[in-house]
Amino acid sequence: MSGKVYLVGAGCGDPELITWKGLNLLRKCDVVLYDDLVAPKLLEETKQDCGRIFVGKRYGRHSLPQQETNALLVEKAKEGKMVVRLKGGDPFVFGRGGEEVLALQAENIPYEVVSGVTSSIAVPAAAGIPVTHRKTARSFHVITGHTAADGETTLTENLDTLAKLEGTLVFLMGLHHLEEICNGLMQGGKNPETPAAVISKGTTPQQKTVRGNLSELAAKVREVELEAPAVIVIGETAELDFTGTIPRPLYGVKIGVTGTKSITRKFRDRLEELGAAVTEMDYSTIVPYRENPRLEKELQKISDYPWAVFTSPNGVEIFFDYLKKLKFDVRRLANLNFAVIGTGTAAALEKRGIYASFLPEKYDVESLAKGLCDIVKKEEKILILRAEQGSEILTEILDEAGMNYTDVKIYDIHVDEDKRRFANEKAQEMDFITFASGSGVRGFMENGGAIPSGTKAVCIGSSTAKMLKKYGDYEKIIAETFNVDGVVDAILKEVGK
């Protein structure tokens, strides 16, 4: 049975510019064929078993010829799969969506086109430039800045004709031909004083805009070395500046967030709301123990424990998943009091309908341990459920106080070497790097990792800062509140200086 294909416009730059319909299709599809300019964040919305195939094209290099992309769409649909062809911007605005539709029609493959937000409108708007404005520009014209012809990349339009058009001229994919475009328009009669602009990486935190008149634009762009993708705007509206005025205090600040995927996503979402350019350094992976005889042994005598301790949201999720696997009746936990390290761990417990009996005022392992010593009686047993790399501070303080505990490891944290190398390389570009645990610090620093001069480390708590101290005297900030919001507040305060 034939599958079906959806040609979905991903919008441009900012992943939130995808349409609701496009996002829903992306979440359901079996295979996605995606372009170079598609925001990586969108691919995270696909199912875990979704096939991801990169078919992107950029100036001077193609990953796949268009014919092979067409053939792949047909092939995957004939396998009975739901296919999303995720295209930057809009499928039909210089997106070669028409060629893909013709290939699908030739094979009688069911398809649908889902429009996307085109960079020809969204990118100028992000730079405060409307493509039309009453009494200034009553029309706009979108032109491709280059096309492939006989193996060479050339301009596609008669610039003499374009020079005589009224309204706003918007060139896509034209950065490498900017000087030719400007000179051609002036030779065709366009006033050299015509306002113009080039917007690089529009709608993203890396956005840069160069403004000037037509005669000086190319030289100005060369001077600052703007990078593709870029949109060129020529016309009277390029002189306007309708840039949004809602403050984004971290706009353009480059922040690397380390840890597991669940942690880096929390940081990324919060920081991107404030305008930061976030790089996820998710080199750590949670690996739950599939078989855990030690845990099963303690569960058999769970009534002996008045207290259980969690030091992370991951621990909560893994523990209850293991109970489900064992078909363990959670009513047997009725006599347990739960202690947690912070609000995130408390929230994970609340999802299970359980509210923590103890949450320290300061969300770190030292405060957790000292609090337990204060509220738990010496004769009462404590069951600690945490990672293999759990902080020794917890058990050291409990030992000093003579507390009775059992420390059960329920998961491990593995480091992906390729992702760690990526993190170490990208660290050179960062203004800040966040660390949410001591194990995150170890994962980053092992095998020669280092925080470059001029980059500040932001530690979620004092124990994380102590771990960083073991690797060197790095410039660091410690969050006043030991959670995601505390780290974000610490960065805002530092940037505000």
Phi-psi group of 166: left, alpha or beta (phi > 0 → left; psi -120 to 50 → alpha; rest → beta):
beta
> For residue 228, with 0-12 CB atoms within 10 Å meaning exposed, 13-18 middle and 19 or more buried, which class applies?
middle
d(CA 198, CA 170): 10
- Whole-angstrom distance, CA of residue 440 vs CA of residue 317: 19
Alpha-carbon dihedral sign for residues 325, 330, 335, 336: positive
With 0-12 / 13-18 / 19 or more C-beta atoms within 10 angstroms meaning exposed / middle / buried, residue 139 is: exposed
Helices 438-445, 417-426: axis angle to 10 degrees equals: 90
CA–CA separation, 310 and 339 (whole Å): 6
Active site residue 35: yes
Identify whether 229 is preceded by a cis peptide bond (ω within 30 of 0).
Answer: yes
CB 451 within 8 A of CB 276: no
C-alpha torsion angle, residues 277, 280, 281, 284 (rounded to 10): 160
Which residue among 14, 81, 87, 173 is the active-site one?
173
Tokens 């094979």 correspond to 107
- State yes or no: is 476 an active-site residue: no
β-pair partners for 279? 256
Which of 14, 35, 90, 364 is catalytic? The answer is 35
Are the C-beta atoms of 372 and 395 separated by less than 8 Å? no
Catalytic residue among 14, 57, 282, 430: 57
Residues with a known catalytic role = 35, 57, 173
